[in-house]
A = this chain, B = another copy of it.
């Protein structure tokens, strides 16, 4: 009788949600792929070792190669009998030091990190000076040309709201709709570090890196701030600025609403 009860209990499948931070430098992005090691694979392997099951995490943001995160979100299902908040520490013991679970908790069985409304916050960091700083080289895009931050701030206003972002999207995108909502886009300055902080309901492929490249052109005086409206109207990738390097981009937070 007692054995039967234990057997039943050990089969209570739970869904665990993780807040995942990583230094993207040494990874080919989040999603499993044939050409290199990815965050997803390393997580699957660490959690499988911990629980003895074959774990496949589901991630919220499938960040690109080289992109960093403080707060990506992932879930996995497990029969393991461990307090939900202890998974973070236990998984960390099996992870390399460039990936860390910040938090773990139980969520409802059906909860899916990509099928729930959310606000995503990303930063794009630009080091604007004449010579790069070695300790920033992996976490900021180095820009030699003097940027006019006030002009960049003026331009940032045109991105806010619900727009068709076709011009700010890589042609490789497979999204069904190019319409997205940006809730805020701030440009912070701390000495020679310029940080673009953008909050939205989701972003198209390479969208923030293209927005960063476009804002850099505004800062350099190549585009006037109001030209953002023209670029948007054109619905043509060629009108916007370059796709900036992945290393400047960090997924800061995903808030489910």
Could you tell me which A residues sit within 8 Å of B by CB distance?
21-23, 68, 70, 88-89, 92, 97-102, 131-135, 137-139, 250
Say how far A21's CB is from chain B's closest CB, in angstroms: 6
Residues of B within 8 A of A97 (CB): 132, 134, 137
Chain B residues, CB < 8 A from A89? 131
Where chain A touches its partner, the secondary structure class is mixed
Contacts of A92 in B (CB 8 A): 131
Contact yes or no, A100 B70, CB < 8 A: no
**What is the CA–CA distance of A135 and B70 in the complex, to the nearest angstrom?**
9
Closest 8 CB pairs of A and B: A23-B134, A98-B134, A23-B135, A22-B134, A102-B131, A68-B135, A97-B137, A100-B131
Contact B88 A137 (CB under 8 A): no
Q: How many copies does the complex hold?
A: 2
Q: Which residues from chain B contact A131 at a C-beta distance below 8 Å?
A: 88-89, 92, 100-102
Shortest distance in angstroms between A46's beta carbon and chain B's nearest beta carbon? Answer: 14
In the bound assembly, the distance between CA atoms of A64 and B100 in angstroms comes to 28
Q: Give the docked Cα–Cα distance between A223 and B101 (Å).
A: 32
How distant is A19 from chain B, measured CB to nearest CB, in Å? 9
Cα-based distance from A102 to B142 in the complex (angstroms):
14
